[in-house]
Structure 1
């Protein structure tokens, strides 16, 4: 079975995939790419490549999608297929960059608590926005990563809309029907910009697809890894 490298998103760690892995099955060897280090997309991509198997399928969630595409460009002979989940190729708007930088540079004193409950709730399907257990789980990921990672990831410059055509491996784009952070139009841009890419939309899910609809996501991912 083709190894699968999993890359999380902004202020998320490898536990993002905990509910997906059992559905993928033991016959899919999985490796976790970390975004704890690196100040640029290329640095993060190269670090994960250095720790990855010789050839592998690759899945990137949200910010991890930018890193995954850079890996596919840096090592096209190694990345056999690509799964892009709830992500985009657009750069952040000026307002978003300023908001993130302000938050990162003005972290309140005391222990770092991860992303705010309000920010996490906004990223979820409306039916899950009050799920205290799920929100706590996401906050715990950010708390484990800490303030230094928060600063680096918040200041990360990203955007590769003009370079999508350089991705040459089979690609599946996965969008969430109720994603308030990434639009269907952004997913369609990925599909249209990467030659031969396919698009699937997961219903009844907000942005955090691996946590909200892990079984549906795993089924789509297996279609790629079983090729």
Structure 2
């Protein structure tokens, strides 16, 4: 049976993939959702994936998980049979004022988590991650905040440092040989749709980019049914 390995984003866990895991299981796939523990580099996170995954597997990564997925391919491309990258990116930290602002923003959130707790930090973090109208959905917001609260400030700091030190994955994209596709919320302000078209242009064969309507960055939770439809339809083409 084919295994699909699901890689969560920053301070996310199994809840990030709850709807997708259910749909994949119903479709006959095995699933494995990775917990990065206290890992503080993308490379270490990828090693955790490879230590838990079967010999060959499909990998789907969301946000930071997409960067981990690319590092998994860098470390063991022969084990990855197909790749889906969602609401993610590939470039390292910019070495300019933009990069300095990104670091300052990330560390301000870490300081807030250490001072006020993870849930209070999550209330602020969530503002730019989901669409404004979805912030009115209490069930969705509570699921996201509960997920964030399951992580510790230390784990949050470690993952933020991993993202600040993230590797350049351009060469990985350019060397991809497994079937690949990209999925992104059409209104993702953090990892915009155009970036996914940019990544697709780097991959041999120009793989497809699927847009999830009426979704921000947290597409797997904001529009779970639409994401499930895209994932399952594409997997059936393999």
TM-score by length of 2: 0.88
Contact 2:81 2:179 in 1 (8 A): yes
Q: Residues 126, 110 of structure 1: CA spacing in aligned structure 2 closer, same or farther, 3 A cutoff?
A: closer
How big is the shift at 1:137? 1.3
* Runs (5+) with no aligned partner, structure 1: none
- Give the equivalent residue in structure 2 for 1:177: 186
* Runs (5+) with no aligned partner, structure 2: 94-98
- Give the equivalent residue in structure 2 for 1:18: 18
- Give the equivalent residue in structure 2 for 1:97: 103
- Give the equivalent residue in structure 1 for 2:43: 42
Q: Which of 191, 202, 206 lines up with 2:200 in the alignment?
A: 191
- Give the equivalent residue in structure 2 for 1:53: 54
Supply the distance in 2 between the matched residues of 1:67 and 1:103 (Cα, whole angstroms).
21
Runs of 4+ in 1 over 3 A off after TM superposition: 105-112, 223-226
How big is the shift at 1:37? 2.9
Computed over aligned residues only, the root mean square deviation of the Cα atoms, in angstroms, reads 1.8
- Give the equivalent residue in structure 1 for 2:96: none
Residues matched between the structures, number: 227
Contact 1:114 1:142 in 2 (8 A): no
Supply the distance in 2 between the matched residues of 1:145 and 1:158 (Cα, whole angstroms).
20
Matches within 5 A, 1:1-227: 1-26=1-26, 27-92=28-93, 93-105=99-111, 107-109=113-115, 111-113=117-119, 115-156=121-162, 157-163=165-171, 164-196=173-205, 197-226=207-236, 227=238
- SS of 1:185's equivalent in the other structure is helix
- SS of 2:184's equivalent in the other structure is strand
Moved more, 196-205 or 158-167: 158-167
Supply the distance in 2 between the matched residues of 1:167 and 1:190 (Cα, whole angstroms).
11
Supply the distance in 1 between the matched residues of 2:167 and 2:114 (Cα, whole angstroms).
29
Contact 1:116 1:139 in 2 (8 A): yes
Contact 1:90 1:186 in 2 (8 A): no
Supply the distance in 2 between the matched residues of 1:167 and 1:223 (Cα, whole angstroms).
21
Supply the distance in 2 between the matched residues of 1:114 and 1:18 (Cα, whole angstroms).
23
- SS of 2:85's equivalent in the other structure is strand
Q: Which has the higher helix share?
A: 2
Supply the distance in 1 between the matched residues of 2:118 and 2:134 (Cα, whole angstroms).
24
Contact 1:122 1:129 in 2 (8 A): no
How big is the shift at 1:33? 1.5
